[in-house]
Structure 1
Amino acid sequence: MAAVPYRLIRNLMLAGAVLYCSLLLEAAAGFPLDVGNSFLSELGALDQSTSLWARAMDLATGVLLLIAVLLGRPAARARRELAGLLISTAAFGLGTLFDSLSPMDCAPSASAACRAAEANGQTGVDLVLHEVTSTVAGLGSIAMGVFAVLVLRRAGWGGAWSRLVAVLAAAVAATQTWLGLQTGHDVLVGDDLDAPGILQRVSVLLVCLMLGTLLPGLRQALSR
Structure 2
Amino acid sequence: MPDTPTSPPPSARPSADRAVDIARWLGLLAAVLQLSWLLESVVGSPLPSRTAYVSELMASDQPTAWLFRGADTVAGMALLTAVLLSWGVVRRWRRSTQRGERPSRLLGLAHLGLGVFGVAMVVDAVLTPMSCAPSIEVACAQAELTGQVPLTHQLHSLVSSLSAMGALVGLVSAAVWAWSRRRRATVHVGALVAVALGYVIVTVWVLLEMASATPGHELSGRIGLDVLGWSQRAGITLSALGLALVATLPTLRSDAGRTA
TM-score (norm 2): 0.77
Match of 1:189 among 192, 217, 226: 217
Equivalent residue number for residue 156 of structure 1 = 182
Query: How do 1:34-49 and structure 2 match up within 5 A?
Result: 34-49=48-63
Deviation at 1:6, TM superposition (A): 2.2
Match of 1:69 among 83, 90, 102: 83
Question: What's the CA shift string for 1:11-68, capped at 9, x where partnerless?
Answer: 1011111111132221321342101110111000011112111111111111111111
Deviation at 1:187, TM superposition (A): 8.0
SS at match of 2:27: helix
Query: Quick check: 1:21 aligned with 2:53?
Result: no
Q: Matched residues in 1 for 2:175 and 2:216: separation?
A: 31
Q: Which runs of 4+ in 1 moved over 6 A?
A: 190-195
Query: Quick check: 1:127 aligned with 2:153?
Result: yes
Query: How do 1:197-212 and structure 2 match up within 5 A?
Result: 197-212=229-244
Q: Matched residues in 2 for 1:76 and 1:220: separation?
A: 10
Instruction: Give aligned pairs, total.
Output: 223
Query: Quick check: 1:117 aligned with 2:131?
Result: no
Higher helix share: 1
Equivalent residue number for residue 179 of structure 1 = 206
Question: What's the CA shift string for 1:80-104, capped at 9, x where partnerless?
Answer: 2311100001110111110002111
Q: Matched residues in 2 for 1:218 and 1:183: separation?
A: 37
Question: What's the CA shift string for 1:98-125, capped at 9, x where partnerless?
Answer: 0002111110112111112112221131
Q: Matched residues in 2 for 1:83 and 1:120: separation?
A: 41
SS at match of 2:130: coil
Q: CA RMSD in A?
A: 2.6
Q: Matched residues in 2 for 1:52 and 1:17: separation?
A: 19
Match of 1:99 among 114, 124, 127: 124
Structure 1 residues 97 and 60, CA gap change in structure 2 (3 angstroms): same
Q: Matched residues in 2 for 1:45 and 1:29: separation?
A: 15
Of structures 1 and 2, the larger Rg is shown by 2
Flag structure 2 segments of 5+ consecutive residues without an equivalent. 1-6, 8-12, 95-102, 256-260
Deviation at 1:170, TM superposition (A): 1.8
Q: Matched residues in 2 for 1:173 and 1:188: separation?
A: 26
Equivalent residue number for residue 57 of structure 1 = 71
Question: What's the CA shift string for 1:192-216, capped at 9, x where partnerless?
Answer: 7977111111111111111122122
SS at match of 2:62: coil
Higher mean C-alpha deviation, range 164-173 or range 213-222: 213-222
Deviation at 1:183, TM superposition (A): 2.6
Structure 1 residues 190 and 58, CA gap change in structure 2 (3 angstroms): farther
Q: Matched residues in 2 for 1:183 and 1:82: separation?
A: 31
Q: Matched residues in 1 for 2:186 and 2:216: separation?
A: 43
Q: Matched residues in 2 for 1:82 and 1:75: separation?
A: 12
The amino acid that maps onto 2:122 is: L
Q: Matched residues in 2 for 1:52 and 1:90: separation?
A: 23
Equivalent residue number for residue 97 of structure 2 = none
